[in-house]
Amino acid sequence: MKTRLSLLAGVVTAFACFTPVAAFTGSSNTGAQSVPLWLCIPFAGLLLSIAVLPLVKPDWWDKNKAKAVIFWSLLFVIPFAVTNGVGQAATVTLNCILDDYLSFIILLFGLFCVSGNITLEGDLVGAPRVNIALLVLGTLLSSCIGTTGASMLMVRPIIKINSWRKRKCQTMIFFIFLISNIGGCLTPIGDPPLLMGFMRGVPFFWSLRLFPILIFNMVLLLFIYYWIERRAYQKDIAEGRKPDISRPGTRVKICGSHNIIFLVMIVGAVILSGTLPGLSAFQDASGAVRGLHFIGVSLGYPSLIEIAIILLAAWLSFSTTPTEIRTKNHFTWSAIEEVATLFIGIFITMQPALMLLKASGSQLGLTEPSQMFWAAGALSSFLDNTPTYLVFLTTAGALGFTGGMVTSVGTVPTQMLTAISCGSVFMGANTYIGNAPNFMVKSISDENGIRMPSFFRYMLWSLTCLIPVFLLDMLLFFM
């Protein structure tokens, strides 16, 4: 009982530190008045449910998480309809589902399907050095095929080669830190916020400037990982666990490798969704992106093209890959189902927090790169990092700087743009809900016999391993 109470105390503290409710308490401004602060309660409630209920009522949560999501979503939608009108509520909800959630979940679904059809066979052994090599590979791959793509591609091979081990959750945690988040900072393909930056005039290869920061973070985190992993590895050996290496030589075979083509197809679709809106063929006379309209909400043709390509890639992947590969990969729908269920609730209930952020972002008084780094990062830990990035980019653009990167939202000093990019991309790793692949990796690991930490225990890992590294980032790069 004491543990549960301390967990509750922990969550209250965490939310007080990170959620917009606390972030905006001191700023009573006109923008924020249109969305009352208490409308953020359903978001906090949903996060609390995700964090606490799997610990205290695991069976109930397993069967009823969809009901919890509906409950918290309605708890936002109904009061919002009462205060702002039914039409406004419908527009906000539909906009969030069509414009944000749909492309998010379709991308995740496509990558989940395609990567589930690729399996690694062989007798490479999961030990500290091999795991580090794979984490480095995955981190660099994240910028080429996106954090979600790299996570989905690498998660099963890493689980498989470590299947002889007992203590392996640290590998999956650092997987989330590096492959699912930090690795995506080098290109707009890596993480959606950078794609938004690219669409606002930041050059495609500008983010390659973040390479030294990436290397610095990667080296530090891998150093920490090595010592944790080495201890765990030693304990496993001391308990008498050993891999099967009776056969001389290492055999490694990738089955279903033709799915790499479909993976490239999906990455291409993501790039298209970022470039097509800038073409005049996809813009109407007013410069808005052409698309389908429902109740005042539009779904742009570029998004529709992206969705169509991703679904086609997933279908082709399924129809050209033998079922045995999926069976060997323990491919099930549970992980994507769980993420789809929880994230629709998160997307809907976080709307008031995002509205507050949009309305008050420019009045927060953030003028230094270090402030931007922490503000963008802290909010990206819980909110969608794409709108968070945009809010801070717009805020920085409106500060009236004359030197730096010229974007469509104004001129932003290079150091400040670096800080916003790093904060948004890196700090998605702070919580399971900070970035979509985090939860996917957790779910897939849970399904395959790896005891992943609870929501708060994971935050403890990020507080002890990530935050000190981010503090060093601030001192070295953003001061």
Partner 1 sequence: MEATREKVMELATRIYELDGEVYRCLGSSLGRVYTGSRTDCIEGLARLMCSGRTAYLLRSELALVGNMARTIPDKDDCARVMDTYNALLREVQSLPESFGTVDIQDKERIRLNQVNLRERFSENDHLVICIGRSQGCAGTDIGFALADALKINFYDTEIFNSVLKRLQAEQDQVPDSTGSDVFSFQPSGKKHSSLRQWLQTVDRYHGLPKEDAVFFNQSDLICQMAKKEDFIVMGRCADMILANNRIPHISVFITAPFELRVQRMMETHGLDHRHAARLLKKLDRRRGRYYRFYTGLEWGSPINYDLCLNSASYGIEKSVELIARMINRQLPPPEQK
By the rule CB under 8 A, 329 interacts with partner 1? yes
- Kindly tell me which residue out of 41, 159, 336, 391 binds partner 1, with binding defined by CB under 8 A: 159
Cβ of residue 142: shortest distance to partner 1, in angstroms?
Answer: 22
Locate 79 and state its tokens: 């009061």
- Closer to partner 1 by Cβ: residue 55 or 312: 55
Using CB under 8 A, which residues numbered 420 to 479 contact partner 1?
A: 446-451
Nearest to 466 by CA among 376, 377, 362: 377
DSSP lists the bridge partners of residue 412 as 405
Contact flag: residue 327 with partner 1 (CB under 8 A): yes
SS3 for 18-45 is HCHHHHCCCCCCHHHHHCCHHHHHHHHH
Element (H, E) at 254: strand 252-255
Tokens of 405: 């990167």
Residue selected from 129, 205, 295, 475 as contacting partner 1 according to rule CB under 8 A: 129
Token duo for residue 265: 């197809």
Is position 240 an interface residue for partner 1 (rule: CB under 8 A)?
Answer: yes
Q: How far is the CB of 47 from partner 1 (least distance, A)?
A: 22
Contact status: 58 vs partner 1 (CB under 8 A): yes
* Whole-number Cα distances in Å, 383 to 45, 290, 369, 432: 14, 28, 20, 11
Answer yes or no whether residue 318 interacts with partner 1 by CB under 8 A: no
CB of 13: closest distance to partner 1 in angstroms? 24
**Among 261-269, 283-291, 326-334, 357-365, which window interacts with partner 1 (CB under 8 A)?**
326-334
Q: In whole angstroms, what is the distance from residue 424 CA to residue 455 CA? A: 20
Q: Which range binds partner 1 by CB under 8 A, 40-48, 237-245, 272-280, 412-420?
A: 237-245
Nearest distance from residue 431's CB to partner 1, in Å?
21
Q: What's the residue count for the chain? A: 479
Q: In whole angstroms, how close is the CB of 61 to partner 1 at the nearest point?
A: 12
Contact 43, 375 (CB under 8 A): no
Considering only residues 78, 82, 215, 237, which one is a binding residue for partner 1 as defined by CB under 8 A? 237
Least CB distance to partner 1 at residue 163 (A): 2
Q: How far apart are CA 305 and CA 113, in angstroms?
A: 18
Do strands 405-407 and 119-122 pair parallel, antiparallel, or not at all (unpaired)? Answer: unpaired
Does 284 sit near partner 1 (CB under 8 A)? no
Q: Does 368 bind partner 1 (CB under 8 A)?
A: no
Interaction of residue 243 with partner 1, rule CB under 8 A:
yes
In the complex, minimum distance from the CB of residue 249 to partner 1, in angstroms, rounded to a whole number: 6
146 in Cβ contact with 270 (< 8 Å) = yes
Tokens of residue 41, six digits: 């309660």
Among 94, 209, 328, 340, binds partner 1 (CB under 8 A): 328
From the list 146-154, 169-177, 240-248, 260-268, the region that binds partner 1 by CB under 8 A is 240-248
> Are 380 and 389 within 8 A, CB to CB?
yes
**In this complex, which beta carbon is closest to partner 1, that of residue 45 or of residue 243?**
243
Q: Which of 9, 21, 66, 11 lies closest to 350, judged by CA?
A: 21
Which of 9, 166, 294, 471 contacts partner 1 by CB under 8 A?
Answer: 166
162 touching partner 1, by CB under 8 A: yes
**Residues from 18 through 57 that contact partner 1 (CB under 8 A):** none
Q: Does 340 bind partner 1 (CB under 8 A)?
A: no
Which CB sits closer to partner 1, 238 or 281? 238
Going by their DSSP bridges, the two strands 410-412 and 119-122 should be labelled as unpaired
Q: How far is the CB of 466 from partner 1 (least distance, A)?
A: 24
CB 28 within 8 A of CB 35: no
Of the pair 10, 243, the CB lying nearest partner 1 is at 243
- The span from the CA of 73 to the CA of 377, in Å, is 25
Number of residues this chain uses to bind partner 1 (CB under 8 A) = 46
Q: What is the nearest approach in angstroms of partner 1 to the Cβ of residue 467?
A: 26
Q: Exactly one of 66, 140, 330, 399 binds partner 1 (CB under 8 A); which one?
A: 330
Q: DSSP characters for 130-198?
A: HHHHHHHHHHHHHHHHHHHHHHHHHHHHHHHHTTT-S--HHHHHHHHHHTTTGGGGSSTTT-HHHHHHH
Q: Which residues contact 189 (CB under 8 A, 6 or more apart)?
A: 143, 144, 145, 146, 195, 267, 270, 271
Give me 209's structure tokens.
Answer: 């400037």
Q: Which residues bind partner 1 (CB under 8 A)?
A: 58, 62, 119, 121, 123-125, 127, 129-130, 133, 156, 159-160, 162-166, 234-235, 237-243, 245-246, 248-250, 324, 327-330, 332, 334, 446-451
